[in-house]
Structure 1
């Protein structure tokens, strides 16, 4: 008996597509083309049980993160198998007759994998309780993602410590150009906001302080940055002090909803509104509108869904934890919501902001993610020593899958939306052309 041959045959019959992988199993058997770019090893029967008990992206993710399933070689090749996850999750419900399911079940059972569902990997986030996007719950889930160690993030983000899409505008920014791409992204945001010396900038979700430093050092503005991550706050304050900019930049451990006081000339929100959620998006837009002076600009840099999402049904807050289980929600961005661009624009306009521009950066994010993956792979042993093998595999899987998601049109994109709070006369106070408001001062 060859477990690898039988398993590959069963999966191909189940999915009704050939799998271009070389498979190795717990008994040492192998099957599939020996020169395949994707080499997958089921190290034990538990790996197969994980997939069969959750025949979707969550089951595959659990098997990989736990180390029960190993990918030797090109992880992009495995994740790039056309519609693998979609077929695995929907195939039994759509196309398989009860008789066929019974026959396939006997095939899998013959491999000796019958048993209870394995316990999820230790890094999987347990079911959350409480109202979705309440301040307390948001603080907990943001801490889960960001408070895993600044040294770990530095491994793949590089010295810029910018955890958002870069702007790959230079012809020579292809190899080793991540730092340039992040510098150019921060500068693009500053120019879109029309920053000038003496202005006050609010940086919502300020991360490790990179935007705040760039704006203060290169554009002479005073900055308030807010984050829900204690580790980000401490890191940002230290680097700001090292740069001698503590008198110009204030970093707070604070929810953006608690920011009040005098108004700001500009607001930057880079990679933060994905944590806000559909239900809270109108409140987010209204609050930022209220913090801007008339004529003040808002730059919202956020991932957007290209796939149509139906309007959410209203439901009690107590039931908000019962959302569909996905890899991203259970391992990476708990409670994160990727919304269509139209929802963001609508919320801004209803709040009284005038949307002046939107720029899509989909290809830029694919390049950024590929650079992060390369950095993480080059520092793999150090990453494992810092956060453990399971969490390191989680981030590698997440970054690799995300790169593929942004490379394929029609799935994900990312937009910089520029909006302005109109003046009392109804004017935007902005130059008439994009060339004018992008020109450096």
Structure 2
């Protein structure tokens, strides 16, 4: 590459071919050169060093770009939602790069040293797991990778509710079935979600019911059920950090006599019986091959009339978070999103009568936008509590997920199942009205 040629000039044909002239993202390179957007600029992608190119050369596609972003050799400056939306909407599946431009880009990458040195992946990247996929040991390692990154970090992102699942934004003038504007606090929206789950499970109908909360997180759902509906709750998690803080929160709230937090796998609960079961944001870690075992296990814990509320992210047709994807490598190792139709079928096969399915995807988009705002609003502290790479991962994955919920690529559903008795009795209310 000659001294008079800028990096932007060499790579502009590649970027134009991939994104088209309508892209609103500005690209700036470490030599100070830049590729200007075709219209109004929504933000800037800063390529800070040749290591960014090396990541892309050695791991082409999503994983290489993720490594560059997590390592800090690529930055996104500006409204991350607008930047990601622009990149998504202008990228062309059938883009074709001319042979001459491609060879020129490859030659420039070679001259810059991007082809000769393979950079190591950032330390935040999950390493390959040992054991069978979704075995207890491998699940424990995957859960630890995602959840044991620091309770204080999660408190900063999630806010005082410490609830890591879709909230429900219901305003004072809302009819109870739609999203509300920004006047509803995140804490109130999370409490509204917990309350909806409690009412669907019938906790308001009979105080003192015994509830199992599978994947209890930091205990927020268990505490709500105990304090508002006088439920006796067992919460289980396989994250040591979560269990430690959940127990402390329960004690500080004076709920120790009603709430028990166990560091335990749901598959270790045989022989116990509960009146109702909530599973909120945990099913994504179960996997398609274990779904039948999961529902059979929970079914065996319930008597006739017992209810299960399964609250989980879904994807049309289902999707597996592979090790070649950003989400699979950095965020949810071994995670799987199961089509809601398959969830309903699996619950029915396990002996549940499915009585209600509610979609909340717009609410999750709002929830994620609030989490991103919390993270960006206290960025330096977030980095200090975890690492620069970890904070970058959470910013990117939450922003991208919000867009997925907004455009329907991702969904989230609450599926309510009931165990009928021999006569078919399930003890359900006649309409949804009692749930609000």
**TM-score, shorter chain, exceeding 0.5:** yes
RMSD of aligned alpha carbons: 2.3
Structure 1 residue 389: Cα displacement: 0.4
What residue in structure 2 maps to residue 128 of structure 1? Answer: 129
TM-score calculated relative to the size of structure 1: 0.90
Displacement of 1:58: 1.2
User: Equivalents in 1 of 2:222, 2:417: separation in Å?
Assistant: 20
Which residue does the alignment assign to 2:115? 114
For the 8 Å contact 1:8–1:23, the answer to whether it is kept is no
The answer as to whether partners of 2:8 and 2:28 remain within 8 angstroms in 1 is: yes
- 1:248 paired with 2:258, answer yes
Distance 1:219 1:14, change over 3 A: closer
Residue equivalent to 1:319? none
Q: Give the whole-Å Cα distance in 1 for the aligned partners of 2:334 and 2:147.
A: 14
Residue 230 of structure 1 deviates from its aligned partner by: 0.8
Counterpart in the other structure of 1:193:
201
How far has the Cα of 1:77 moved from its partner?
Answer: 2.2
Contact 1:3 1:111 in 2 (8 A): no
Cα deviation for residue 428 of structure 1 reads: 1.5
Residue 76 (structure 1) aligned with residue 76 (structure 2): no
1:325 is displaced (CA, Å) by 1.3
Instruction: Report if aligned partners of 1:10, 1:107 keep a CA contact under 8 Å in 2.
Output: no
Supply the distance in 1 between the matched residues of 2:43 and 2:244 (Cα, whole angstroms): 41
The residue that corresponds to 1:318 in the other structure is: none
In the TM superposition, what whole-angstrom CA distance separates every residue of 1:85-119 from its partner, at most 9, and x where no partner exists? 975xx668xx5687775455335445553323321
Q: Is the 8 A contact 1:363 1:406 kept in 2?
A: yes
The match for 2:314 is 304
Gapped regions of structure 2 (runs ≥ 5): 174-179
Which residue of 188, 209, 212 maps to 1:180? 188
Report if the CA contact (8 A) 1:423-1:429 is conserved: no
Instruction: Assess if the C-alpha contact under 8 Å between 1:38 and 1:73 holds in 2.
Output: yes
Residue aligning to 1:9: 13
> Across the two proteins, how many residue pairs are aligned to each other?
422
Partner of 2:329: 330
1:9, CA displacement in angstroms? Answer: 2.9
- Rounded Cα–Cα distance in structure 1 between residues aligned with 2:430 and 2:150: 45
2:236 to 205, 223, 226: 226
Distance 1:31 1:102 in 2: 19
- Matched ranges for 1:144-183 at <5 A: 144-170=145-171, 171=173, 174-175=182-183, 177-183=185-191
Check the 8 A contact 2:212/2:235 in 1, yes or no.
yes
Summarize deviations over 1:256-297 as a string: whole Å, max 9, x none. 000123311000000000000000000001011110111000
Give runs of aligned pairs for residues 375-390 of structure 1, distance below 5 A.
375-390=374-389
Do residues 277 (structure 1) and 287 (structure 2) align?
A: yes
Deviations 1:135-172 (A, max 9, x none): 01101110111111110000011100000000011156
Unaligned runs of at least 5 residues, structure 1: 313-321
Q: Distance in 1 between matches of 2:394 and 2:18?
A: 29
Of 117-126 and 414-423, deviating more is: 117-126
SS in 2 for 1:300: strand
Shift of 1:309: 4.2
Question: Which of 22, 26, 43 is the equivalent residue of 2:26?
Answer: 22
Report what 1:415 is aligned to. 413
| Within-5 A mapping of 1:350-369 | 350-369=349-368
Shift of residue 6, structure 1, vs aligned partner = 2.6
Q: Deviations over 1:54-105 (max 9, x none)?
A: 3322111111110000111121122112537975xx668xx56877754553
8 Å Cα contact 1:166-1:181 kept in structure 2: yes
Asked if the contact 1:14/1:104 (under 8 Å) is kept, the reply is: no
Looking at structure 1, the residues matched to 18 and 195 of structure 2 have their Cα atoms a distance apart, in angstroms, of 51
User: Are the aligned partners of 1:227 and 1:233 in contact in 2 as well (CA < 8 Å)?
Assistant: yes
Distance 1:229 1:85 in 2: 40
Q: Could you say which residue in structure 1 is the equivalent of 2:274?
A: 264
Between 238-247 and 48-57, report the one with greater CA deviation. Answer: 48-57
* Higher mean C-alpha deviation, range 254-263 or range 133-142: 254-263
The corresponding residue for 2:177 is none
| TM superposition score normalised by structure 2 | 0.91
Are the structure 2 counterparts of residues 400 and 323 from structure 1 closer, same or farther at C-alpha, using a change threshold of 3 Å? closer
Distance in 2, Cα, partners of 1:21 & 1:434: 46
Q: Distance in 2 between matches of 1:47 and 1:85?
A: 22
Aligned twin of 1:373: 372
